[in-house]
Amino acid sequence: MLCASLALLAAHRAPAAPRSRGGARSAVVSPTTPAPLPLVERFWSKAAYLSHHSEVLGDALAFAAEAHDGQRRRSGEAFIVHPIEVAIILAGWRMDADAIVAGLLHDTVEDTDVTVEQIEGRFGAAAASIVAGVTDGAAVPASQSQRELLLAISRDWRVALLKLADRTHNMRTLEHMPAAKQAAKSRETLDLFVPLARRLGVEEIERELDQLCVSYLGEERPDGPSLLDSLLEDERICLRRQRACWREHRGACASSV
pLDDT in tens, 140-165: 456 666 777 887 888 899 999 999 99
Which range among 65-79, 159-173, 212-226, 235-249 shows the weakest confidence by mean pLDDT? Answer: 235-249
Domains of the chain: 1-135 (1.10.3210.10), 142-257 (no CATH)
pTM: 0.78
Separation between Cα atoms, residue 248 and residue 250, nearest integer Å: 5
- Per the annotation, the verdict on 41 as an active-site residue is no
Identified catalytic residue from 77, 96, 110, 210: 110
The tally of CA atoms less than 13 A away on the side-chain side of residue 96 is 12
Separation between Cα atoms, residue 113 and residue 118, nearest integer Å: 10
What is the predicted pLDDT for the residue at 28? 32
What is the predicted pLDDT for the residue at 223? 64
CB 87 within 8 A of CB 53: no
- Per the annotation, the verdict on 120 as an active-site residue is no
Q: Is 255 exposed, middle or buried (0-12, 13-18, 19+ CB in 10 A)?
A: exposed
Identified catalytic residue from 111, 166, 191, 206: 111
